[in-house]
Chains A and B, each alone.
Chain A
Amino acid sequence: EPEVTQTPSHQVTQMGQEVILRCVPISNHLYFYWYRQILGQKVEFLVSFYNNEISEKSEIFDDQFSVERPDGSNFTLKIRSTKLEDSAMYFCASRTGIFSGNTIYFGEGSWLTVV
């Protein structure tokens, strides 16, 4: 079964450093997302991306965050200057665009630890 793949699975970075999390969505999917989950808390929406532009973003997704689809397969999340509170599991997700009810598939996640 096709799946969303993410790299790295785990990254430790120093506060203030830039981090890029990478995702390869399922190949025929058109909508892409980033969610995050701080340890012990709920999954939170960050951003959705369609047709090469951001379609929606949350309050969490401030100027320190950016997303990009640099080629036909990768979808990246960049955090410019990481803060301690950015430590979380970051999930990439995708879905097809045919019906609004299409399942959103999640990747295995990238665990980011900011020290």
Chain B
Amino acid sequence: GQNIDQPTEMTATEGAIVQINCTYQTSGFNGLFWYQQHAGEAPTFLSYNVLDGLEEKGRFSSFLSRSKGYSYLLLKELQMKDSASYLCAVRGGSYNTDKLIFGTGTRLQVFP
């Protein structure tokens, strides 16, 4: 089956660093995406990993280990506007699939 696990909620302080973990078990793997979603809004693309290692983009970084079925999203210098849900999504399932399988999302609250 397909399974993607992330913590349900996390809290952090403005200016701090937070790491959101994601583990996945899918029958195929063609890349992992992180999206940010504010309540009632569309998911917004943050990062994409298909090879092992770290991808850095400004205050956001994402790491992937395919052998461990593990990824994390690292947010630095947290700002109040970073309060949102962070969705881990795997493109996979079979060789020719294109769909994204989403986790339930991690709701991050940033406090002053």
Stretch at the interface among B19-27, B58-66, B69-77, B97-105: B97-105
Which residues of chain B come closer than 8 Å to A42, judged between CB atoms? 87, 102-105
Scoring B residues 66 to 96 as 1 if CB is less than 8 Å from chain A, else 0, what string do you get?
Answer: 0000000000000000000001010100000
Residue A103 CB within 8 A of the other chain? yes
Which residues of chain B come closer than 8 Å to A50, judged between CB atoms? 98
Number of interface residues, chain A, beta carbon within 8 A: 25
User: In the complex the two chains form, is A103's CB within 8 Å of B48's CB?
Assistant: yes
Interface of A is mostly: strand
Choice from B31, B44, B50, B102 contacting A43 with Cβ under 8 Å = B102
- Chain A residues in contact with chain B, CB under 8 A? 31, 33, 35, 41-45, 48, 50, 55-56, 58, 89, 91, 100-101, 103-109, 111
- Chain B residues in contact with chain A, CB under 8 A? 30-31, 33, 35, 40-45, 48, 50, 87, 89, 91, 97-105
